[in-house]
Amino acid sequence: MSSDASFEGRTVLVTGGGGALGRAVVRSLLDGGATVVAPSFTAGDDAALTALACAKLVAPAKVDLSDEASVDALYADVPELWASVHLAGGFAWSPLTDMALEDFEQLVTMNLRTCFLCCRAAARTFAGPGRIVNVAARPALVPTANVAGYAATKAGVAALTLSLAEELAPRGVWVNAIAPSIFDTERNRADMPDADHASWPKPEELAATITFLASPGNTSTRGAIVPVYGRS
C-alpha cells in the first residue's frame, strides 16, 4: 500500500465522471495513482471517458444513478472501495413562481436522489475506513434569488452530508462536501457570455479540493461543506 498522500492501490468511484467537473476529478485521481470507476450515463459521458481511457480507469456504461437497483449493482462490483465521489447532478435557473413541479422533481432526482442512493451504497460497501465527497452548491449556503428549487436540492445534499458524517465517523469513513460557486465550464461561458469568467474557480481547482478530501492524507476533516468560490 501507498504513503498517505497517494491513492496507489486504492479504488475510487466517481459519479458524473464524464461531466465538466468529473473529467478534472477523474484526471486528478488517476494522476494520484487511484484506480477509478466512473460510470457513464449517456453517449456524451462515454465519449468524455473514452478520451481519458487508461488501464486504471473502468467506465461501466449506461448507469442511471437515480435507479436503486442500478446503483446497488454498480457498487456490488467494487469490492475494495476506498472513496466514493458524487458529482452527478444538474442545475436549473427559475423563479419559483415559474417553476413546474416536474422540473423541481427532476432536480430532486438528479441532485438528491442520486446522492442518497450512492451514499447509502458506498456506506454499505466500505469494509473499513473510507471517504465520501458530495457536491452541494453556494446557493445552498448563501441565499440567492431565482434558484430556490435548485438551492433546496443542494441544501438537501449538504444536510445529508453533515448527518452521514456523524453516522459514519465511528467507522473512520469521513464524509464531506464541496459547495462550488458557478465555475468555469464551456456551458457556463456560453450561458453567461458577459460574466467575469476569470473570477470563476476552475474545474481543476475544485478537483484539487475534492482529491484532498477523498485522500488518505485527509486524516481528520469530516462533516465539512467546503466553499470553493475562487474570486467570484
Ligand X SMILES: NC(=O)c1ccc[n+]([C@@H]2O[C@H](COP(=O)([O-])OP(=O)(O)OC[C@H]3O[C@@H](n4cnc5c(N)ncnc54)[C@H](OP(=O)(O)O)[C@@H]3O)[C@@H](O)[C@H]2O)c1
135 lines the binding site for ligand X (CB under 6 A): yes
Q: What cell was used for 86? A: 458524487
Least distance (Å) between residue 145 CB and ligand X? 16
Nearer Cβ to ligand X, position 171 or 187? 187
Q: Which listed residue (18, 130, 156, 216) binds ligand X by CB under 6 A?
A: 18
- Distance CA(147)–CA(84), nearest Å, equals 27
Q: What's CA 46's distance to the chain center, in Å?
A: 18
Q: How far is CA 132 from CA 15, 138, 149, 222, in A?
A: 12, 19, 25, 9
Nearer Cβ to ligand X, position 12 or 216? 12
The CB-nearest residue to ligand X is 19
146 lines the binding site for ligand X (CB under 6 A): no
Least distance (Å) between residue 119 CB and ligand X? 14
Tell me whether residue 183 is exposed, middle or buried, using C-beta atoms within 10 angstroms of its C-beta: 0 to 12, 13 to 18, 19 or more.
buried
The site map against ligand X for 97-126 (x = CB under 6 A) is: -------------x---x------------
Q: Segment contacting ligand X (CB under 6 A): 63-71, 77-85, 166-174, 210-218?
A: 63-71
| Count of other CB atoms within 10 angstroms of residue 9 | 12
| Count of other CB atoms within 10 angstroms of residue 18 | 27
Q: How far is CA 57 from CA 39, 44, 134, 227, in A?
A: 10, 17, 20, 29
205 lines the binding site for ligand X (CB under 6 A): no
Q: Which listed residue (66, 94, 144, 146) binds ligand X by CB under 6 A?
A: 66
Q: What cell was used for 95? A: 423563479
The site map against ligand X for 164-183 (x = CB under 6 A) is: ----------------x-xx
The residue ranges that bind ligand X (CB under 6 A) are 16, 18-22, 41-42, 44-45, 64-66, 87-91, 110, 114, 135, 137, 180, 182-183, 185, 188
